[in-house]
Copies of this chain bind each other. A is one copy, B any other.
């Protein structure tokens, strides 16, 4: 393997979002292979990347099935050729006009819901839907034995809008290690399969049985009865995922390039130009075994300086210091030194930036992939 030429980094104004495509492609391949072994199709979530170029790599080089978190994502990705999209946030009736417009343009956009009121609005608008199932008490959805399930299924089926069921084990983020995540995966599977069987027992079709979260998707051992798997942050990974052993720190494909702008030597502080505007306010590792502050510090080439974290963040200032309990001394990082910060939560950090600066591979040049936001 050739050593990539990183000299183009020198010209990049900081703070800037860096993407290591080699790591990203390795992360994408890992879950694709696991889904194939489990015999389910993969419907990756586009909310982390929000970039046409990045998502194309997530779906095998061609526009494939995806999950989205906003209608803006559905619109942008449909324009880029994706025509099989799940909008996986409970539908508000006011949004059905935009959904219908996209469907009229040839996009098979499917929504989710968990109430009779939503089902009636969706049936009236002739929009296909999955019923959201609550597998872990995390957020929305019906418990699989909720009698409303059949009532909702019937409202949808009567207008030809019933596509199936889905769940998301958001609570799996709060436990550590593959065997704990496998338990959540089995809980996801059991909940949606039970809901699908209830619907079928009532004479209602349930072709789609969809599960997923990044921890459970990687840990699932058996997905009998499930048809598709969703996950998003795995393409980049982050410190939260490393903290619960879904990946290692070396798998994290995203970082923020920053420059040292000052010091308070008596306090052991090194100031950088990446504050919460560049890193996000996400403190997802605060409740984990190892609190990484606002991010873990690496040198300019990406080598982890494992005792250094961003301990505090203002809008455009970060304070780098030794983590509590670490042996000193603080390394010498003169004004102008460049560092990279690994993010707690890739979705949140990426959202603070307008583009990915894609690190050169082998002897290639640095690329820029635009990101979008909004709703």
Contact = CB atoms under 8 A, between A and B. Distances in A.
B347 A273 contact: no
Contact of A90 (B95, B115, B117, B261): B261
B140 A94 contact: no
Residues of A in contact with B, size category: 35 or more
A121 to B, nearest CB: 8
Given A262-B114, A335-B118, A354-B374, A95 B47 contact: no
A122 to B, nearest CB: 11
A277 interface: yes
Interface string A140-166: 100000000000000000000000000
Interface stretch (A194-202, A280-288, A297-305): A280-288
Contacts of A93: 335-336
Given A90-B271, A118-B335, A315 B140 contact: no
A94 B11 CA distance: 9
B335 A139 contact: no
A14 interface: yes
Interface in A64-100: 69-71, 89-95, 98
B263 A115 contact: yes
- Most chain B Cβ neighbours within 10 Å, of A14, A92, A277, A353: A92
B317 A139 contact: yes
A316 interface: yes
A92 B354 contact: no
A13 interface: yes
Nearest to A10: B94
A170 interface: yes
Interface in A185-222: none
Given A261-B91, A264-B140, A375 B114 contact: no
A314 interface: yes
A278 to B, nearest CB: 8
A319 interface: yes
Interface of A: 13-16, 47, 69-71, 89-95, 98, 113-115, 117-118, 121, 134, 139-140, 170, 259-264, 271, 273, 276-278, 280-283, 314-317, 319, 334-336, 347-348, 351-354, 373-375
25 contacts: A13-B94, A13-B98, A13-B375, A47-B316, A69-B277, A70-B316, A90-B261, A92-B259, A92-B273, A92-B335, A93-B336, A94-B259, A95-B259, A115-B262, A117-B334, A118-B335, A139-B317, A140-B271, A140-B317, A170-B314, A276-B282, A277-B373, A278-B375, A281-B281, A354-B373
Given A89-B261, A115-B262, 14 more contacts: A14-B92, A90-B262, A90-B273, A92-B260, A113-B262, A114-B262, A118-B335, A134-B264, A278-B375, A281-B281, A281-B348, A315-B348, A353-B374, A354-B373
State the 6 A-B residue pairs at the shortest beta-carbon distance, nearest first: A281-B281, A90-B261, A90-B262, A92-B259, A69-B316, A140-B262
